[in-house]
């Protein structure tokens, strides 16, 4: 733009200037690319290890590190204003909160289903036998005798 060019923001004249993008050397891009490849191999290796409940956490951690590298270097967030970094980190925090709440919900569902599928639940609900939600255990001799004498409800 020429020095006398006028720009209007919300109806008011403002100084016009060009934004200059940060230019990184190719060696930096190659280093970040190499780190992403190493992290990708790590992700595949972790998928074959038997880490039990830690597997998901390790995979998520590696994914976050890879995303941060891509966003920081390839999308130039590292060289952008701190506000954009704040927005990114805030988003990451809220996603982590939502994932954590979801994991807690999934972790405790079986405990709740066991409670619902218990004799105590049936008694509290005023039922003479427990509801058939997920009861796959074999019947006891008493239960078989009860069904023979009283029929199936």
Per the CB < 8 A criterion, the answer to whether 116 and 123 are in contact is no
Q: Give the pLDDT band of residue 30 (cuts 50, 70, 90).
A: very high
**Per-residue b/e over 6-23, b at no fewer than 16 CB within 10 Å?**
eeeeeeeeeeeeeeeeee
Q: Is 80 exceeded by the pLDDT of residue 151?
A: no
Q: Give the pLDDT band of residue 74 (cuts 50, 70, 90).
A: confident
User: Scanning the structure block, which residue is given the tokens 């008694």?
Assistant: 123
For 120-149, write each residue's pLDDT tens digit: 555 555 555 555 555 566 778 887 787 777
Q: Which two tokens stand for residue 131?
A: 């509801």
Q: Give the pLDDT band of residue 104 (cuts 50, 70, 90).
A: confident
DSSP H or E run through 12? strand 12-14
As a residue count, the chain comes to 153
Mean pLDDT for 87-93 is 88
For the chain, the farthest-separated pair of C-alpha atoms sits apart, in whole angstroms, at 100
Domain ranges in the chain are 24-83, 106-147
Task: Round to whole Å and give the CA distance between 19 and 59.
Answer: 37
For 35-61, write each residue's pLDDT tens digit: 999 999 998 988 888 888 888 888 888
Task: Round to whole Å and give the CA distance between 41 and 36.
Answer: 9
pLDDT at 73: 83
| Burial label, 129 (beta-carbon count in 10 A; 0-12, 13-18, 19+) | middle
């Amino acid at each position: 733009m020429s020095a006398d060019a006028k720009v209007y923001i919300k109806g008011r004249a403002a100084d016009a200037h060009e934004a200059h993008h940060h230019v990184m050397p190719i060696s930096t891009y190659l280093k970040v690319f190499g780190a992403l490849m190493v992290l990708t191999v790590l992700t595949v290796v972790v998928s074959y290890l038997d880490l039990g409940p830690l597997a998901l956490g390790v995979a998520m951690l590696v994914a976050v590190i890879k995303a941060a590298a891509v966003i920081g270097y390839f999308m130039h967030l590292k060289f952008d204003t701190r506000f954009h970094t704040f927005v990114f980190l805030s988003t990451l925090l809220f996603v982590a909160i939502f994932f954590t709440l979801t994991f807690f919900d999934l972790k405790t569902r079986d405990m709740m289903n066991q409670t619902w599928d218990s004799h105590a639940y049936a008694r509290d609900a005023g039922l003479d036998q427990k509801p058939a939600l997920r009861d796959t255990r074999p019947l006891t001799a008493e239960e078989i005798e009860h069904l023979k004498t009283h029929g199936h409800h």
